[in-house]
Amino acid sequence: MNDTPSPTGSYENQSPENSLAASPEPAPPKREWDKLIFTNARGIRAGWRLLIFIGIGATLGYGIRLILMQLQGSAAAAKGPFTPERAMLGEGLTLAIALAAAAIMSVIESRKFRIYFAPVTARWWRNFFTGIGWGFLALSLLLLLIRIPGDYSLGMLSSHGGVLARDAILWAIMFILVGCTEEFLMRGYAQFTLATGIGFWPAAILLSLLFGFGHHGNLGEDIVGLMSAGLIGLFFAFTLWRTGSLAFAIGMHFMWDYCESFIFGTPDSGLVSKGVLFRAHFQGSPWISGGSVGPEGSVLIFAVIALLFVAFHFAYPQRRYPDPKTL
């Protein structure tokens, strides 16, 4: 009988448990760098989706511009006075391009197109017309505050009869398009997409800053006008948060601009339109009257905007905007 012990480490002395313990654990799979940068658990990251949306819109816009230049014979033919007809063409094309780009993105993202408008409430039309009322009252209040120290007067009727009716209808259509276009671009697709990545309010603040800065190219604009435009944009985001729909913001945006440019005949962010109901007169300090900017350049607008936030908080106390990450 052989009493010599087995050599250390022989298979006889190694149990299955010891064998498993001695084997190295497999390394966890590493995420590929491209997936880490471009995608997450929900698909393409928000920033890239927004850039794709902008790229699609820019491409469509460039193509349409080339077609129009060919039809008109030259780029110079596209220039002309600021009339409601020409303004409607520009706004209508911009809105069509934005909607087309969003429709393409809805296919890429496998989402329903309507969620970019956040129409989660059945009160769409009620919110739209309520927004119109708020827009009229807010702009009227601002002009009343400017009128108290004598820095604003309404002026005389600018036109009559059929000409007045025509201008009223054309400018109404024009500013409805403006409301739809700017609200969808700032508080529609862009707001929804960025909110999925950084949250609703960081996205709203960023887009409101861009909305305000976007007015800097207007002739006659100044720093007060840029700040007030950004704050109004933030208020529109607040209405989206509380109503769950762009309808209120579109209605108020439309009527605010319509009151400035047509009804009261004031400059609108430095832009002066032709064919108005009244031709307003401003005098006194530009800090109160708004100067070349119009009512949005008056420091009194900040009091009106603050009042809007407070009033809307009590009028619409509940959040109705859905969590974009769940859609």
Mean pLDDT of 215-232: 83
Out of 53-57, 146-150, 151-155, pick the least confident.
151-155
Its pTM stands at: 0.82
Which residue type is seen at 169? I
Task: Give the burial class of 172: count Cβ atoms within 10 A of its Cβ; 0-12 exposed, 13-18 middle, 19 or more buried.
Answer: middle
Out of 4-8, 24-28, 258-262, pick the least confident.
4-8
Mean pLDDT of 309-326: 88
Out of 28-42, 178-192, 198-212, pick the least confident.
28-42
Neighbours of 237 (CB within 10 A): 24
Q: Are 254 and 176 in contact (CB under 8 A)?
A: yes
Out of 33-37, 48-52, 233-237, 255-259, pick the least confident.
33-37
Higher pLDDT: 25 or 140? It is: 140
Mean pLDDT of 152-170: 83
Mean pLDDT of 44-65: 89
Q: Are 295 and 143 in contact (CB under 8 A)?
A: yes
> What pLDDT shows up at residue 11?
44
Task: Assess whether pLDDT exceeds 60 at residue 30.
Answer: no
The mean pLDDT value of the chain amounts to 82
Q: How large is the C-alpha radius of gyration of the chain?
A: 29
Which phi and psi angles does 271 have, rounded to 5°?
A: -95, 135
Task: Assess whether pLDDT exceeds 60 at residue 243.
Answer: yes
